[in-house]
Structure 1
Amino acid sequence: MDSARNNYLLAAATCCFVFALAHLGCIVFGGDWYRFFGAGEQMALMAEQGLWYPTIVTSIIVLVLLAWAFYGLSGAGAIKRLPLTKLALMLITGIFLLRGVLFIWLMPLFPENSLTFWLISSGTCLFIGGLFAVGCWQQWAVLGKVTGQA
């Protein structure tokens, strides 16, 4: 696999790393960062009170985004192939695209989150999901040509 030929998966992985860092910033810098990113006043207040909930939830998001970033790099051939890379990339792509599209149904579950949060985060998810989708299509099309399975 030639990573130089798959800038889409590399860009998707980079986006995941950047958003993992932003979430980590919320943990480190507290309530103001939760507010800035639109996570809701309740999360911001809990973070300011030193409660564990925002840290746990945000840490899980950080770990998931980091795992997805590494799978993106693996699919692009930039790092060693991880187990079940193709399946993982299909699931990651689907989750990002579904999160981007289904936010209307998620909004009532998180009433503290602002409309701006939902629009920006959903648009971002669609964008990253699109990068993963095109990157996967490109990678598998290239592999199919190399192996004669196209």
Structure 2
Amino acid sequence: MYAFSTGSLALIVGASLSAAAAMAHLACIVIGAPAYRFMGAGERMARAVDAGQLRPTLVTLAVTGVLLAWAAFALSAAGVVEPLPLTKVALVAISTVYLGRAVAFPLIKPIFPENSNTFWLVSSGICGLIGLVHAYGTVSLWRTL
């Protein structure tokens, strides 16, 4: 049995969290407007879903795809799946985006005034946690990537 390092384990956890976030986004598509409202996406997005517009689904699928790609890069670096090209660069970018999203929410919040304060605090906390886990794993495995 292969013993994973703490860096590998961190990236496996990070990948799992990214995949869970992707599944939460897919759940919004399946459940519909109530899920968008519950997740704090804003009333405009929920109304667009209620109106049968395609845009919310496309945006949500795009976010889902990005999150799943990020999970794949983390699993690649952890040695769970085959190596992917540019993994080192990707992990730095992934960590930066998650951490940036966590701390920049006061700057982003005015662009999306319909999103609730709860949405911003919870999603920013989650992004911060996922970003820290990715950053720890990336730093820990830096020489082997």
* TM-score scaled by length of structure 2: 0.94
For the residue of structure 1 that corresponds to 2:81, the secondary structure is coil
State the number of aligned residues.
142
Which structure's CA Rg is the greater one? 1
**Aligned Cα root-mean-square deviation (Å):** 1.3
Q: Where do 4+ consecutive residues of structure 1 move more than 2 Å? A: none
3-state DSSP of counterpart to 2:61: helix
Q: Is 1:8 aligned with 2:10?
A: yes
Superposed displacement of residue 4, structure 1: 1.6
Partner residue in 2 for 1:23: 25
Give deviations 1:124-148, integer Å, cap 9, x for gaps: 110000000000111125x39xxxx
Describe the shift of the 1:136–1:12 C-alpha distance in structure 2 as closer, same or farther (beyond 3 A).
same
CA distance in 2, matches of 1:86, 1:107: 30
> Which stretches in structure 1 are left out of the alignment for 5+ residues?
145-150
The answer as to 2:102 corresponding to 1:100 is: yes
Identity %: 46
Structure 2 match to 1:148: none
Whole-angstrom CA distance in 1 between matches of 2:56 and 2:50: 10
Amino acid at match of 1:52: L
| Gapped regions of structure 2 (runs ≥ 5) | none
Tell whether the 8 Å contact from 2:21 to 2:67 is kept in structure 1 after alignment: yes
1:31–1:47 CA contact under 8 A, matched in 2: yes
Q: Structure 2: how far apart are the matches of 1:106 and 1:43?
A: 17
Displacement, 1:120?
0.4
Q: Cα deviations across residues 38-74 of structure 1 (Å, max 9, x unaligned)? A: 1011111111111011111111100000000000100
Q: How does 1:65-80 map to 2 (within 5 A)?
A: 65-80=67-82
Structure 2 CA distance, aligned partners of 1:26 and 1:48?
12
Alpha-carbon distance in structure 1 between the residues aligned to 2:92 and 2:121:
24
